[in-house]
Structure 1
Amino acid sequence: MSKIVNYSMANRGRIARFLPGRDLTADDIRRADSTAEWAGNASYTALQIVIDHNGSDMSTLASCRSPITVITTLDDKLSAAGVAADLPPSQ
């Protein structure tokens, strides 16, 4: 069975306006400053929703028998382009 690898592109300018956290209410600040165990995951999920909402339609990058094939190929291409060894997707 094949695995399909999809991607979408987002406009950096449309996403960046959500990052400064301006005009937050007292309740927003309390959630943003949370030290709760899952607070980071909630923030990551919220940002991913914003990115997905502002992104383009999904497109198919590849179809392969194993996702590791795409990951190792991407690792090789990034390495050849001079990307640091700790940054490729397999890391």
Structure 2
Amino acid sequence: MSRIISFNTADKADILGFLGAGNLTADQHQRLNSMHQAAEANQQDLERQDIDWGLSIPDALDHLIAGCADSRAECAGNAYYSALQHIIDCNASDPSDLGVYSKPGTFFGLLDDELRRLGVSDDLLPRGYLFSGPPREIPFRIPYPVDGTPDIGMLPLAKAKPAADAYSTALDQMDHAFTYDVQLLIDKLQFEHDEWASATERLDWYTQDTIFFSITG
């Protein structure tokens, strides 16, 4: 089954602020309403496909907001990751697509091997951040989806340009099977760096610091 990788940017602290939150601000309440609407629409789409995870996405969202992810349903992780993605999306920029891959874990694993061979440091290898999982600062464990989808990844915006530069340096020497996808990744990372650098310089209220990746399919 093909999987779609998309991404957006956000302030990681904004995401964490909804997980186990106590008294929500007026702005957070407004965002939470949007999250519930998105979760309900997502759940209705699953039901039209006769997919039952044993935990609804709206209920999973309520669990995360309450500060827990303790459902014993076999596919609870799928619902929790979907709910977390709605929290991310309602606090982030509009999403953009990176690409569609039949086996993204395998492809980016092989790409990591190629980039490592060409001298790219481990902390900049794409599979590591595309499949990093939720923020480690979340104070409770979220079970992993049983089939690995949806999945979540993260890259600090401060590493976008170092990653793009490292890939650019390696581009001419790598196996041609990877060059199209690597050039696409370079362009996306460079664009996000430029937007981040410009906004950080011009806007005193701008706090976005993380690229969040979503893998669905």
TM-score (norm 1): 0.53
Map of 2:13 onto structure 1: 13
Q: Distance in 2 between matches of 1:8 and 1:53?
A: 11
CA apart distance, 1:36: 1.0
Distance 1:32 1:38 in 2: 12
Residues 48 and 36 of structure 1, relative CA distance in 2, 3 Å threshold: same
C-alpha separation in 1, matches of 2:94 and 2:10: 9
Q: 72, 78, 83: which is aligned to 2:123?
A: 83
RMSD: 3.9
Shift of 1:11: 1.2
Select 2:82's aligned residue among 27, 36, 45: 45
| C-alpha distance after superposition, 1:23-78 (max 9, x if no partner) | 5xxx846x8321111212111111011101111123465x79x997x9465x355x
- Give TM-score scaled by structure 2 length: 0.26
Aligned amino acid, residue 122 of structure 2 = G
Distance 1:83 1:18, change over 3 A: same
Quickly say closer, same or farther: Cα 1:14–1:67, change in 2 above 3 A: same
In structure 2, which of residues 63, 69, 80 is the aligned counterpart of residue 32 of structure 1? 69
Measured at CA, do residues 67 and 36 of structure 1 come closer, stay the same or move farther in structure 2, by a change above 3 Å? closer
Q: Which has the higher contact order (CA 8 A, sep 6+)?
A: 1
Report the AA paired with residue 74 of structure 2. E
**Residue 182 (structure 2) aligns with:** none
Deviation at 1:8, TM superposition (A): 1.1
Whole-angstrom CA distance in 1 between matches of 2:92 and 2:86: 10
Q: Distance in 2 between matches of 1:5 and 1:40?
A: 19
The verdict on how the C-alpha distance between 1:59 and 1:34 changes in structure 2, with shifts beyond 3 A counting, is closer
For residues 124 and 97 of structure 2, the distance between their equivalents in structure 1, rounded to whole angstroms, comes to: 26
C-alpha change, 1:60 and 1:41, in structure 2 (3 Å) is: closer
Aligned residues: 76
Identical residues among aligned pairs (%): 39
